[in-house]
A and B are shown apart, each in its own frame.
Chain A
Amino acid sequence: QVPTLKPMDLMVEASPRRTFANAHTYHINSISVNSDYATYLSADDLRINLWHLEVTNRSFNIVDIKPANMEELTEVITAAEFHPHHCNVFVYSSSKGTIRLCDMRSSALCDQHSKFFEEPEDPSSRSFFSEIISSISDVKFSHSGRYMMTRDYLSVKVWDLNMENRPVETYQVHEYLRSKLCSLYENDCIFDKFECCWNGSDSTIMTGSYNNFFRTFERGSRRDATLEASRESSKPRAVLKPRKVCASGKRKKDEISVDSLDFNKKILHTAWHPTENIIAVAATNNLYLFQEKVN
C-alpha cells in the first residue's frame, strides 16, 4: 500500500522541555534571558537568581533583599530584566518606585547597585496612596539599550540610563483615576500590575488600562492614542476608533465617563512585534492582534 497524506487539524500541545529546580521561596515576577543566550535571571519578591539555560538543578543568587528580621520588610522586588547588549548588566525595580542597575562584574552578590534611579516625590500631590501608586509594575529596556521604561499605577516613565535623578519623559496613562484612588484601593485595583512595551524602533511605547483600553505614546511627537480591544468595538480589518475618557464635566458624544469604566476589563499584558507594526493585546481571556493599517 502506498502511504497517503491525510490532512489533519493543527494540534497545539504545550509540553515542558526543561524544569528548573525550585530556587524561589516567593512569587516569581520576572524572567529575563540574557543577551548571551546562555544565562537567564528569575526574580521573586525578595531574591534574584541567575541560571544557566542548560543547567536545571543549580542557580546562583545575585540579589537578596530579605531582611534578617522580616518585621523590617518595607520594600520588595517587583520586576527585573537583563540589558539587551551588556550581558553583565541588569536592572530591578521595587515597590517603592526605585530602580537599581547592577553590574555582575563588580561582585558576586549584587546587593550593591551601580546606579540608583528614583524620581523625587512631588510634595504637593502626596497622599496616603503615594507609595502604592509609585510601585513599579514593569521595567523594560529600550531596544537600543540607552533607555529603560517603567510603569507605575498612573504613568509610564522613560529613563536615560545616564541620568539617575529623574526620568526624561513621563506619560500619563489614566490621570483621571487619581481622584479615585481610594475606591481603587478599596476594590484592590490599585494593586493591578500593568506591563509596558517598546516598538521595534523605540519611537512608540504602549501600555494597558481599564475598560479594555490600551494606550500608545509617540515619543517624538508626543501624540498619544487610546484604543479599545473588544469584540463590540472592532470587527476584523476595521480600523480602531480612538477613545476618549471624560474626566469631569459634561461628557461629549462618544466619550466615556470615568464612572462607567469597567475595572474588571483590564489590559495588563501587551507586546509589540520586534520589527513590524503588529501588536498583541491580552484582554481578560482574549488575545487581540492588531496591525498598522496597510493602504
Chain B
Amino acid sequence: MFVRGLKRKCFDGEEDIEGTLAGIKAIPSYNLQRQSLLDMSLVKLQLCHMLVEPNLCRSVLIANTVRQIQEEMTQDGTWQMINTQSTGQASLDRLVSTDILCRSSRDSAEGKHVPAYGTFNKDFESDQAQDRTETMSTASSVQAPRNLQSNVWEMENPQENKGNFQKSLDQIFETLENKSPNSVEDLFSEVDNSYYDLDTMLTGMMSNTKMGHCDSLETFSPPTNTASNSNCKSDLSDLDHIVEILVES
C-alpha cells in the first residue's frame, strides 16, 4: 500500500478511528499531496489548451506527469474521494502547502485535509474571490479519472457501509455522464485550432490517461469561461444535489 519506502506516520493515536469514515483519515497525507498535484496538473493542461499558441513541450510534460500519478494511484488502489468527501469540511485553501510536496517521498509530512470532491460547491464560490488560476482546480478535481470508478468498487473498506456508498457514487457518475456533449465543444470553440490539432492531442492525452470518459465532466468549468457560462449554473445546482447525496450517505 505504501510505495517507494514512504514512511508511515502513525495517525492512529491522534484521530478517532471508531467512526465509519475516520479510518479513511488514517491514509497518509502523501495521497492528499498526490491528489493536489494531480489537480494542479489538470488545471495546467486545461490552461495550456486555451492559449492561442500552446506550448507542446509543456503540455506533453504535464500530461506525462498526470499519467504517472494516475498509474500510481491505480496501483495503490487508494482514492481521495472516499477519504475526504464524507468529512463535510470545507477548506478555502485547496492546495496543500507546496513545501510538503517538495519533500522527498521518504519524509511524510502533515498535509492539510483537503477535500477533493465533497465540498465542490463551497470551494467554487470561495475560489472566485481569489485571483488564482487554481480556481479551475475545483472543477478539475471532479474530473476523476475513469479508473477511479472501478477502483472505488475494488477498494477494501470494511468500515464503510459499502452498499450505500457505491450506490451514491453510481448516481454521481450517471448524472455526470448524461451531460450534453455540446458544452464540451463550447469550451473549445474559441480556441484557434489552426496551429495544430490540439483537440485531438488533449482529448487523446486525457483518454490515454484514462479520462476520456469524463469529458462530460468538463461542463463544470468556472464562470470565468464565458463559453459555457449558461451550462455552469444548471450544473451547479445539480452538483448541490450530488453533494447532498454524498453527505447524507
List the interface of chain A (C-beta within 8 A of B).
25-27, 45-46, 69-76, 78, 95, 125-129, 131-132, 135, 179-183, 185-186, 188, 191
Contacts and interface: CB of A to CB of B under 8 A. Distances in A.
Contact of A71 (B58, B61, B68, B205): B205
Given A183-B102, A186-B98, A69 B204 contact: yes
Interface of B: 4, 34, 37, 40, 44, 53, 55-58, 60-61, 63-65, 68-69, 95, 98-99, 101-105, 195-197, 200-201, 203-205, 207-208
Contacts of A76: 56-57, 60
A70 B204 contact: yes
Contacts of A126: 4, 105
Nearest to A131: B64
Contacts of B196: 25-26
B53 A27 contact: yes
Contact of A125 (B53, B57, B104, B195): B104
A74 B60 contact: yes
Given A26-B196, A71-B208, A78 B102 contact: no
B75 to A, nearest CB: 14
B61 A27 contact: no
Nearest to B43: A186
B102 A181 contact: yes
A182 B57 contact: no
A95 B60 contact: yes
Given A128-B65, A131-B68, A186-B40, A73 B60 contact: yes
Nearest to A177: B102
A95 B61 contact: yes
Contact of B104 (A26, A95, A127): A127
A235 to B, nearest CB: 37
B135 to A, nearest CB: 14
A280 B213 CA distance: 51
A191 B41 CA distance: 13
Contacts of A70: 197, 200-201, 204
12 contacts: A71-B200, A71-B205, A72-B208, A73-B60, A76-B60, A125-B104, A179-B104, A182-B98, A182-B99, A182-B101, A191-B55, A191-B57
A128 B68 contact: yes
